[in-house]
Structure 1
């Protein structure tokens, strides 16, 4: 009876343990290869390119794409990374003061949410009923 009890105790201890993630570092989208682009077109998938996210150990982050920079804070919830915007601006500074583009310098009230999968951050959004993916890989410094 004691071995069975010990086995069950050990089994439940491992199954209840919470997974911890070490996500600090730089994540980037990779340039899409020609073969992958063809497969994605056939499957009606699209991917963002040219995105960088720097996740800092102090719970801050910097997100960059070809036109904007976003700074803010992050937290992990279950298997997801949530990015909360504090400041959003265009890389071309003159656009930051333009009334025409002012809506694009406001932070969203909801966070950007990425699934954490090993050394990748993955996000999907729908644009005109089409899925567009961000797949960022952690930059492994050598």
Structure 2
């Protein structure tokens, strides 16, 4: 999941209990407090957890960073695409590309509107025809911070 078995176990523990500390995690997982503390801080750097702002005193519990629907969608898209790549036959078509273009704010707004209209032409068919397959179409248009 996140590249390290202890990090995955820590995330599962936080998901189960809501918060954890390095001491509680060490007891629960049979690891050292130092190792749990290190990996909890790495998960913070990755943006997956944060110190619980409601905590008081010396105890420093960690909690999951609240996720947005957009970030959940991106994670599901990534998982679905990776799964499709593993299962696809040589006949399956993967149409993926990216471009970096120079746009004004107005042009970016227009590009987004045009792409939305193109997708709308394919999503407004109700009922959904029986010969179709759910297909992920992912478009991200955003300014690159230099």
State TM-score, norm by structure 2.
0.22
Greater share of strand residues, 1 or 2?
1
The structure with more radius of gyration: 2
Question: Which has the larger share of helix?
Answer: 2
Q: Whose RCO is larger (CA < 8 A, sep 6+)? A: 1
TM-score by length of 1: 0.22
